[in-house]
Amino acid sequence: MSISERALKNHDLLFPNRQSTLAETDPELMEVFDNFAFDEVLQYGNLDTRTRLMVVLAALIASQALGEYRIMLGGALNVGVTPVEVKEIVYQAVPYVGIAKVHDFIHLTNEILMSRGIRLPLEGQSTTTPETRFAKGYETQKGVVGDRIDKLYSDSPADQIHIQKYLSANCFGDYLSRKGIDLKTRELLTFSMLLSLGGCEPQLKGHIQGNLNVGNTRETLLCVTTQLLPYVGYPRTLNALRCINEVLPE
């Protein structure tokens, strides 16, 4: 095998002393993948290692890649992603991916954290109560969506307004307003999940604008998209690029 020195170094940073069994059974594939994912792709942009691992974890949950998530979660913890941040990534996946798909990731996360001697439950990160969740969620949502939120409410058919209220109170109030991860990073996580799910291009475009509204740039979104490429493939990557170009032209 001819894996580059840079790829080996980046791989060892995440997974010290770990040798994949695929290196023995599928050496040609591992040579191509490791040189691409741990060398070539990492040379693009300036996304820091912790953020890169966080968006990869979000993408893997959305992709239902439980085995790869197990591996990358270990790497994320090794480079300083905190248990609270890991839990918040998993929790945030619930309103975007659905509990049916997130359930197994919750249990696997708990298993890995406890195997490292981390006691559960972790300190709570909620900032709302049943009485404040709608107002807090609406405020958080407006920070992402901007004044367009008022139009979303005014344009909603009467028999669908409850979904808009759920978005404010549940998605943004119960989840996005939590502590543990700042809103700017949470929007990158949302972008990563929607990109990886596929078929969510209208929502992806909305959150591309949302990322811009909270301070992320076109360059940052291109960095995230590039780092996710080895894990989600070219079709979803190209769809995301098209959405970025439509919302944030060069």
pLDDT digits (tens, 9 = 90+) for 151-206: 999 999 999 999 999 999 999 999 999 999 999 999 999 999 999 999 999 999 99
The whole-angstrom separation of Cα 184 and Cα 188 is: 7
pLDDT digits (tens, 9 = 90+) for 97-147: 999 999 999 999 999 999 999 999 999 999 999 999 999 999 999 999 999
Indicate the pTM of the whole model: 0.97
Which tokens belong to 167? Answer: 């978005």
Which tokens belong to 72? Answer: 């990358």
pLDDT of residue 154: 95
pLDDT of residue 19: 80
DSSP the chain: ----HHHHHHHHHHSTT---THHHH-HHHHHHHHHIIIIIGGGSS---HHHHHHHHHHHHHHTT-HHHHHHHHHHHHHTT--HHHHHHHHHHHHHHH-HHHHHHHHHHHHHHHHHTT--SSPPP-----TTTHHHHHHHHHHHHHTTHHHHHHHHS-GGGHHHHHHIIIIIIIIIIT-SSS-HHHHHHHHHHHHHHH-S-HHHHHHHHHHHHHTT--HHHHHHHHHHHHHHH-HHHHHHHHHHHHHHS--
pLDDT digits (tens, 9 = 90+) for 61-107: 999 999 999 999 999 999 999 999 999 999 999 999 999 999 999 99
For residue 142, with 0-12 CB atoms within 10 Å meaning exposed, 13-18 middle and 19 or more buried, which class applies?
Answer: middle
Domains located in the chain, CATH noted: 44-125+178-247 (1.20.1290.10), 133-171 (no CATH)
